[in-house]
Structure 1
Amino acid sequence: MTVMACVRFRLLPVFLLAVLLAGCHRQGGLAIGDPAPSVTLLDFRGNTVKFPDDFKGKVVLVRFWSVDCGFCNKDRLSDLEHFHQKYKSRRFLPVAVNVGRVEASDERFNRFGHLSYPLLIDEYGLAARRFGVIGLPATFVIDGEGILRAKKTGEAELDELKKFFTTVLNKGDFYEGYF
């Protein structure tokens, strides 16, 4: 056997394994066009929320974050409140999902008491895993039929967030610019 044939023979199993693993492992979780996974979470008042069933017919921006996350801009939750007030008549609803254990008495949540949209708790990260969250923050936009239309891992700027959900609200037309 020649040296070249020996090298090819040894590399063939490595190549085949790489091809098989690439085909079996879906990078990044949900893909655009996938249905949103069904999850049941509690809000900060102890009410059960079933996603996406409780939000049918609405364009939902789901933001996974954590009060302990150093990369998560906590002011984004107030920015989402502004968007909620401006677009709720068009059936837009933000949903913030805190990933990790949280005590009801945790004073860090006092600053979010003014939020009129759902603030949910994913104590064990099960919902985050179902969505394929690989880092916080992560943002997903789900249309009124429960289909994923946009996603972003990492912090999103305000204009980027607005573009995500207004494009879905407008059924694919260009978004409505800045504030």
Structure 2
Amino acid sequence: MLIDGRKLSTVLLLAATLLLSACKEEKASVGAPAPTLAAYDLQGNQVSLTQWKGKYVYLNFWASNCGGCLVEMPTLEKLSQSHRDNIVVVGINTDREEANIQTLLQDRQVTFPNVRDQMAITQERYQVIGTPTSFLIDPEGKLLAQYVGMMNEPQLKAIFDKSKG
């Protein structure tokens, strides 16, 4: 019996979920190491915070139906470009798999990395209740701050400027 690609992806995702659920429960706490991501890039590859070790990471949990999230995107894109040597913005989409976020990101000309958290494991680890919610992680992987709600450009710029030292 042959399994098509979509079914195989679902089986692999379920297997990964079972393995991850058996892992020690992680919870975000400012001052502690940042919890592990349980998310996949838009090509289906698992991502890890270690990919960006040595830089600050601004994790931004967002959803396509969140007005505040969409308002923040142009500023996050602009700051991700102007601060690219020090900080990386990582968008963590919380929509279900059916949502076509690739088109939305292309239409908004978003180039910073975006990952999917359809099973809400990362949201649970970071205790995200609503979007937008963001976290600042230092170059060694320690959680420095949590930001709940939409932030305007001066607020975001102040956070990003701190990454320059």
Match of 1:96 in 2: 91
Match of 1:54 in 2: 51
Alpha-carbon shift at residue 92 of structure 1 (Å): 1.2
Number of matched pairs:
137
Letter in 2 for 1:54: Q
Match of 2:129 in 1: 134
Alpha-carbon shift at residue 134 of structure 1 (Å): 2.1
Q: Distance in 1 between matches of 2:50 and 2:35?
A: 10
Gaps of 5+ in 1: 1-28, 171-179
Cα RMSD after superposing both structures: 1.9
Match of 1:21 in 2: none
- TM-score normalised by length of structure 1: 0.69
- With a CA cutoff of 8 Å and minimum separation of 6, indicate the structure with the bigger relative contact order: 2
Identity among equivalent positions (%) equals: 31
Q: Does the residue aligned with 2:150 lie in a helix, a strand or coil?
A: coil
Gaps of 5+ in 2: 1-26
Asked if 1:161 corresponds to 2:149, the answer is no
Match of 1:112 in 2: 105
Alpha-carbon shift at residue 43 of structure 1 (Å): 1.4
Match of 1:63 in 2: 60
**8 Å contact from structure 2 (residues 87, 163) kept in 1:** no
Q: Does the residue aligned with 2:79 lie in a helix, a strand or coil?
A: helix
User: What's the CA shift string for 1:94-128, capped at 9, x where partnerless?
Assistant: 01111131336x2x642312322111100021101
Alpha-carbon shift at residue 154 of structure 1 (Å): 1.0
